[in-house]
């Protein structure tokens, strides 16, 4: 059996999660936030809204981050309102996956956050 490096395993798991989350008829809030996080990361976007019935993604793509200051509220970021059409949600989300180190770290954290939300905590 072939051994895969961590990067390949993370990308394969992300593709698997995308396939499972996009195949359901009714979108849960958890799946919706998962999809939005992938799109926000890929497009450097804010205010992502997915219209699953019309196959559209509305978002504001940040055009210039030079005025960004993490210590203050940023009201003057230059954004481009965007309305994208997709034919197949799963293929669209898979096309948003990137293989650079920063993206892989983001996907690993996203998967960890998703798995911790799925864990049932019981009070004893």
pTM score, two decimals?
A: 0.82
Question: Rounded to an integer, what distance in angstroms lies between the CA atom of residue 69 and that of residue 33?
Answer: 25
Please give the residue that has the higher pLDDT: either 50 or 76: 50
> In this predicted structure, which of 15-29, 68-82, 91-105 has the lowest mean pLDDT?
68-82
Strand partners, 58: 49, 83
Percent of the chain with pLDDT strictly greater than 70: 84
Average pLDDT score over residue span 75-81: 81
């Amino acid at each position: 059996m072939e051994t895969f490096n961590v990067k390949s395993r993370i990308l394969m798991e992300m593709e698997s999660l995308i396939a499972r989350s996009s195949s359901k008829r009714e979108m849960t809030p958890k799946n919706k936030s998962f999809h939005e996080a992938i799109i926000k990361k890929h497009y450097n976007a804010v205010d992502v809204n997915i219209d699953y019935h019309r196959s559209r993604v509305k978002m504001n793509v940040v055009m210039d981050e030079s005025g960004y200051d993490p210590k203050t509220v940023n009201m003057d970021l230059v954004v481009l309102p965007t309305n994208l059409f997709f034919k197949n949600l799963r293929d669209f989300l898979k096309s948003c996956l990137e293989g650079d180190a920063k993206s892989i770290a983001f996907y690993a954290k996203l998967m960890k956050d998703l798995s911790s939300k799925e864990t049932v905590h019981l009070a004893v």
